[in-house]
Amino acid sequence: MSFFNPKAASSKTVAKHALDPALQPWVEKYRPKTIDDVSAQDHTVAVLQKTLTSTNLPHMLFYGPPGTGKTSTILALSRQLFGSPDNFRNRVLELNASDERGIAIVRDKIKNFARQTPRAQAVASDGKTYPCPPYKIIILDEADSMTQDAQGALRRIMETYARITRFCLVCNYVTRIIEPLASRCSKFRFTPLDPSSSSLRLSHIATAENIHVDSVVIDTLINTSNGDLRRAITYLQSASRLSSSTDPPTPITSVDIQEIAGVVPASVINEFANVLGVDVGDIMDIGNPVKKSSFESIRNKVKELMREGFSATQILSQLHDLIILHPTLSGRHKSLCAHIFAEADKALCDGADEELWILDVGLRVCKAITT
């Protein structure tokens, strides 16, 4: 199979044809090149800095939500240790969920790489010297998609070849990594990016790209991306493309960002809440507050929302915020609703039908706050 063929599996054939930088996606263009470039994650960066000057590196487990810098950090660290591409190729093995990683591969490919004695340092073609410590690194990105069996087979390998091979497991959900593996690793938690780090990074990119972005727009980017920097960067690039392609170019607005991010307009959520009998009078002017909600009215509203194609998870999260932060609803009502939202979130994660569940949320919220 072609992906076992190391020539096909490496990305170097691809990298040769450098892209026109103007067309390069910013998420890749501004992927941190060194661990110093990694925003936030201060603790992780500080610890890893030290490993650059010593020859010691523990097995590591990186975990945290999407777009927080896990993959970037380990790739940057490996590059700083070995220098790309010269030593990188025979010192670093990167496998991710797109590679076959069943138990057979663990026993075969991973083990073979793990037991090779690290080759002597080659002269770096860029003339720099790299620490090139006497071990290899195996990066198992997206490790939470590996089966339990395959993870189990890693245990021995990690121990046996620990002297010459270090593992770095990367995942979103640390609970999906079996305990014996997790306990062999130093754990590094990647947190959603805090607003000030995100803001700095986004402004840095905006300056480098020579575009003007208001601070209001940056705030919107941060609010809509929930600490996922990759998403914020994608939104920014798309918005900038859209605004620069109009004639004459227009500045990027918060509304553009919300539209791109798939945020449901506040007026739509308010109307929905109104139909459920939530008092939205002081939040927004809606002509006629609903006096009595009926099954019919709620169902029709839900059908309308579905026709608009809004994502159920997005509706749920915005309705949740509206109710939980509501100025006058009682604590008891809010806790009843919180329970309903939690159940619906779980169901949607399990792949439930969106219409049935938004309807159920609507009907139950309505009942909860009117009794």
Q: What is the binding site for ligand ATP (CB under 6 A)? A: 27-28, 30-32, 38-41, 66-72, 172, 201, 229-230, 233
Please state the closest distance from residue 348 (CB atom) to other proteins, in A: 5
Q: How far is the CB of 71 from Mg ion (least distance, A)?
A: 3
Contacts of 34 by beta carbon, 8 Å cutoff, 6+ apart: 76, 79, 80
Strand partners, 186: 60
- Does 255 bind other proteins (CB under 8 A)? Our answer is no
Residue placing its CB nearer to ligand ATP in the complex, 173 or 295: 173
Q: What does the per-residue mask of binding to other proteins show for 178-207, with x meaning CB under 8 A?
A: ------------------------------
234 touches other proteins (CB under 8 A) = yes
Residue 28: CB minimum distance to ligand ATP, A: 6
Q: What is the CA radius of gyration of the chain?
A: 25
Task: Classify burial at 151, counting beta carbons within 10 Å of its beta carbon; exposed 0-12, middle 13-18, buried 19 or more.
Answer: buried
As measured in angstroms, the least distance from the Cβ of 227 to ligand ATP is 9
> By CB under 8 A, is residue 351 in contact with other proteins?
yes
Q: Which token pair is 366? A: 């309505």
How many CB atoms within 10 Å of residue 288?
Answer: 6
DSSP collapsed to 3 states, 4-20: HCHHHHCCHHHHCCCCC
| SS3 call for 188 | strand
Comparison of 70 and 326: residue with beta carbon closer to ligand ATP: 70
CB of 14 to ligand ATP, least distance (A): 16
- Residue 279 binds other proteins (CB under 8 A): no
> Which value, to the nearest 10 degrees, does the dihedral of the CA atoms of residues 14, 17, 22, 23 take?
-50
Binder of other proteins out of 162, 178, 306, 338 (CB under 8 A): 306
